[in-house]
Each structure stands twice: as C-alpha cells, then as structure tokens.
Structure 1
Amino acid sequence: MKRALALVAVPALAISLAACGDDGSDDAKGPMSGRSMPASASPSDGGSQARHNDQDVMFAQMMIPHHRQAVEMADLAATRAASPEVKQLAAEIKKAQDPEIEQMSAWLTGWGAPVPSPGVSDPGHMGHGGMEGMMTDEQMKDLEGAEGAAFDRAFLTMMIKHHEGAVAMAGTEQTSGRSPEAKKMAADIVTSQSAEITRMRKLLKQ
C-alpha cells in the first residue's frame, strides 16, 4: 500500500513542480514586459520633440518683430498715405501679418522658447544677429514724418526692402526648418509677399 502511494505521489509532485516553474516564467515575463513600455513610449516622445528644430525657433523669433514692424508701417499708411492703392495694400499687410504673429508666438510658447517682447526690433540678444530688411529707428522716424505722395514713395520703397528680407528668411526656413506648420507659413510668406513686391514696384512706377 505504501509503495503504491509513493508511486502516485512522485508523478504528482513532478506535475506540481512543473506548474510552479510555469508560474515563475510568467512572473519573469511580466516585469520585462512592464519595463518595455517606456522604451516603446520613448520613440513617441522623441517624435513629438522632433517636430521642430532650432531653425524653426529662430524663424519665429526673428519673424515676429519683423512682422510687427511691417504692421507699424501699415498703421502709418492709414492716416498719412495719399494713394488709395497704398492704403489698401497696407490694410492687407496688417490683416495678413497680425494673425501670423499670434500663431508664431503660440508655437514658441509650445516649444518652450522665449517670445520676443513688443518693442524689440532686433532679437540679437537671442543670438540670431540682425534681420534682413528691417528699418532702422531713423528710417521709421522719417516715415512717420512724411505725408501724402512723399509718404507713399517712402512706404513702398521701404516695404519692398522689408518684404525682400522676409522672403529671404522664409526661404531659409523652407530649406532648413523641420516643423511642418512653420514651413507651411514660410511658403505662404514667400508666395504672398513676392506678389506684393511686384505690386508695390508697379505702384512706384505710377
């Protein structure tokens, strides 16, 4: 009888040990699979950060004050320009660039980068140096003091140069930027401001 019980007990013990081994294997897999989750999340985090680069930040930080100056010039045209065409052009420039300033400011905030303060005409303190096409303080004062046809000529001449600078900066963003949204805005700037340059040159000839 004892020998019969022993023969039954040995296979049962073997089965029990095998079952324990299976449980231990599952437990070992559990922590490993748990640790693999951050690794799978890492590319996602990196992908989010990789949606912009330093060029995108520089583009926004330089284009914001550049746009602000263009809007300031456009505001002057409302009361000083003689030509209805110049006044209309100035209104269109302001309408297009005000929302772009807000959009670029939102990007910089989302990217954790400083937004240029109002009144800053050159973000050189951010390490970007000068901006193409920006008017000097003296040129802005001369524009403020002009009226009528003299204002129209000065405004068009200065805004052509200003737009050419914006187109150049936008072209760099298209080539070296990474953010799809920033590159799309840069493409829009190249298209719209190139057309306005052609329009202003025709007005100057008139």
Structure 2
Amino acid sequence: MICKRSLVRRTTAVGVASAAALVLAACGGDGDSADSSQHNGHGAGAGSSSASASPTTAQGKHNAADVAFAQGMIPHHRQAVEMADLAEGRARSAEVKKLAADIKRAQAPEIKTLSGWLTSWGEDVPAEGGMDHSLHDTGAMMTAEEMTELENASGTAFDTAFLKMMIKHHEGAVAMAKTEQADGASAAAVKLAGRIVTAQSTEIDQMNTLLGKN
C-alpha cells in the first residue's frame, strides 16, 4: 500500500519514472540485482587478482634445470665474450670482426640477466674466472690450451682458429639451451634458451660460410 500511495502522489511523467525506480529498489529489486552485482564484482575482483598474481607466480617458478642452465651459461658466455674481445686486435677479416662484436653485444647483457635470476632464486652466481670443468668434457667450452692458441694467433690464422673454435663453442651453447627447453620450469629461462638456439644456430651457419672463404 505504501508503494501504491507513493505512485499516486507523483503526477508528472518525471515523478512517475522516479517513483517507479524507487518501487523497484524498495519492493523487489533487492534480491536479484544485489546478488548479480555482488557476483559481478567478485568475478571482476577474482579475475584481476588472478591476472596480477599469475606473472609473479610464473617468474618465481624454477627448478634444478633452470639453475644448471644459468650457472653453466654464465661462464660459457663469459668465455665467448673473451674470445670476441681478442678479435678486435687480431682478426684480419672485417666480417670476423663484425661477427665478434655482434656476439659480445648479444651475450654480455644475457650474463647480467642470468646472474639476476640466480640471485633472485637464492642460488650462487659463478665467480669471474670460474669455470665449470664438466663443460670441457662436452666440448662446450675451450680449454686453456685452445685459448692460448687463439691469443697467440693473428691475421688469417686467427680468423680460421676463431671461427672453428666459436662454431664448437656455439654448438655447446645450443645443446645446453635445448636441454633447458626440454627440462626447465622458468618461462623466462626457457624463452631465453629458445632465443639462444635460434641466434647461435644462425651464427654457426654464418661462420661455416666464412670458414669456407678462408
């Protein structure tokens, strides 16, 4: 009755519309509308929370394979940068010098990225000058004798030695990266491994072409 009297008092079209809105709110819009609003609000909230939490969860997820990949790739990259540094003053071919500069430009930042991951995971970052000697057995890294040979070479002899050694070095990196792709849990680390496989496989083809010119 209260609702009906309220409607009668409203004589204008605007009044009727206003009263109707009040009637709906007071007399029966409470149930479904409120529940619907509550569910919609909860759904949006849950979706937002989930979306914001997912990247953090994904970034923090890692396993032993990710740690092994980072700890093995850091000294491997450091040696590649060291080899690339030698090319500046010893290489004869402008193409070899450019390739060496490209390798350094790509791998130096990756060392920082890999080191940052290990720190965030609470794992040890390999010390400067430290070597994973198990990588020598797989051919993934140059031995001290091979590095000395490269340091003592110059001109065309350096170009040939550099290309042969860097092909071998890249093949080791590609193998390590493929293992990470298969076994890693960190999405970021697996993604980096994919970039390493693509980039270094392309450089291997390029170096084989240059080697054929020497």
Q: TM-score, normalised by structure 2?
A: 0.71
Matches of 1:140 and 1:163, distance apart in 2? 15
Q: Secondary structure of the equivalent of 1:114?
A: coil
Matches of 1:49 and 1:77, distance apart in 2? 37
Matches of 1:80 and 1:49, distance apart in 2? 42
% identical aligned pairs: 60
Aligned residues: 160
Change (3 A) 1:56 1:129: farther
- Residue 122 of structure 1 and its aligned partner are, at CA, apart by 1.6
- What letter corresponds to residue 212 of structure 2 in structure 1? K
Which of 102, 107, 110 matches 1:92? 102
Matches of 1:101 and 1:147, distance apart in 2? 28
Residue 109, structure 1, aligned to residue 116, structure 2: no
Matches of 1:53 and 1:112, distance apart in 2? 12
Matches of 2:58 and 2:204, distance apart in 1? 37
- Residue 65 of structure 1 and its aligned partner are, at CA, apart by 0.1
Which of 137, 156, 159 matches 1:149? 156
Matches within 5 A, 1:127-142: 132-142=139-149
- Residue 121 of structure 1 and its aligned partner are, at CA, apart by 2.1
Cα RMSD after superposing both structures: 2.2
Moved over 3 A (4+): 47-50, 128-132
Q: TM-score, normalised by structure 1?
A: 0.73
Which of 110, 121, 128 matches 1:118? 128
1:75 aligned residue: 85
Structure 1: unaligned runs, 5 residues or longer? 1-43
1:12 aligned residue: none
Residue 196, structure 1, aligned to residue 203, structure 2: yes
* Partner deviation per Cα, 1:13-54 (whole Å, 9 max, x = no partner): xxxxxxxxxxxxxxxxxxxxxxxxxxxxxxx8xx56961000
On the 8 A contact 1:122/1:130 being kept in 2, the answer is: no
Matches of 1:54 and 1:158, distance apart in 2? 29
Change (3 A) 1:58 1:129: farther
